[in-house]
Amino acid sequence: MPKVYDSRGYVVRIWTNESKHRVPHVHVFYGSGCQAIALGGPGERPQLLGPLGMKRHEARRALEIVWKHQQEFLARWEEIHG
């Protein structure tokens, strides 16, 4: 699972062999929490997938990170999953 971002304790990864979700998404880790976040398409904001795996303020920060790096993460998703 490639790491695509690592800053201030937040680590973003893309699973390479995951078939559960065909929606472009990343997994954001912080402390002991993990949250899957759908990347969305052009003009769409990222959204949380599944149950909240982090504290609310951590999940908000994770969404901000994904929003800021959305195009970069989408490009990496495409490289990995085609």
22-81 per-position pLDDT tens digit? 789 999 999 999 999 999 987 899 999 988 999 999 999 999 999 999 999 999 999 988
Q: Where are the domains of the chain?
A: 3-81
Q: 68, 40, 15: which is closest to 49 by C-alpha?
A: 40
**Does the global pTM surpass 0.75?**
yes
Q: How confident is the model at residue 20 (pLDDT cuts 50, 70, 90)?
A: low
Angle between helices 70-81 and 56-68 (to 10 degrees): 80
